[in-house]
A = this chain, B = another copy of it.
Amino acid sequence: MTNPFLLKLSTLAAVGDEDARFVEDLCRERRTVAAGSDLIEQGDRPEHVKIIFSGLACRYKLLSEGERQIMAFLVPGDICDLHIAVLGVMDHSIGVNGEAEVATIARDEVAEIVNHRPVLASALLKANLVDLAVLREWIVNNGRRAAYARIAHLLWELYLRHAVVGMVGNNQFFLPLTQRDLADATGLSYVHVSRTLTRLKEEGVIEWDRKRLTITDPEALRAISGFEPDYLHRLGDGTGPDGVSAT
């Protein structure tokens, strides 16, 4: 199964064959978007629901002085605001970090799921809960952890989330982020992010070469991050393809 969206849903509910086919069919309309472009901008009233298939995207806001704060990353399989499509104006933007592949779903197809496919609907609901939990964890991370642990925690989160959708091999995955992106996600300066990453590399915890991140010592990274098990609600039992455990 190479469809990360289906893969993710399968970890959240017991998706049957018929539902699986439906999901596969849903995602038929895909397109590639260029690195750095926005999927949705603040103020938009999105008409369609979008799903990330490959690459990385992020929710962000720009402040008046030009600072940017990233509030979430979207990894393959993630959905850009299921419900806002039904009612609201975006209060933030979603941009892609590297080149990304995105599927677009029409509203009435979402309605079809909600009304006639209870298993999928429940999976979507759970996915939504996980997003919320991740959001709360970011507040904890950015509010109460020092730079070293904060960055470790973010990398660990991204590692686990990529693992769940089968994007990790040999403790290694594609992460098209700049250090400025990391800084904007953690509320640090990019200079300090650079120093901190250097330290993580020196201590043999990670390697990061041209957008491929390798977790050389997963257990060390987890320990440094102060990662608390369970906040991802046992997303996929917390177990990735490499036997990565969230606990």
User: CB-CB < 8 A to A132: which residues of B?
Assistant: 132, 135
A170 interfacial by beta-carbon distance below 8 Å: no
B88 touches A129 (CB 8 A): yes
A87 interfacial by beta-carbon distance below 8 Å: yes
The range of chain A's interface size is: 35 or more
What is the CA–CA distance of A228 and B138 in the complex, to the nearest angstrom? Answer: 21
User: CB-CB < 8 A to A186: which residues of B?
Assistant: 143
Q: Distance (Å) between the CB of A93 and the closest chain B CB?
A: 12
What is the CA–CA distance of A214 and B133 in the complex, to the nearest angstrom? Answer: 33
B87 touches A140 (CB 8 A): no
What is the CA–CA distance of A205 and B92 in the complex, to the nearest angstrom? Answer: 29
Known contacts A87-B122, A87-B125; can you find 17 more A-B pairs with CB under 8 A? A63-B226, A67-B144, A69-B143, A69-B144, A71-B139, A71-B140, A72-B136, A86-B125, A88-B129, A91-B136, A91-B233, A132-B135, A135-B139, A138-B139, A139-B139, A143-B187, A144-B187
Among all A-B residue pairs, the 8 with the closest Cβ atoms: A143-B187, A69-B140, A71-B139, A71-B136, A69-B144, A69-B143, A91-B231, A67-B144
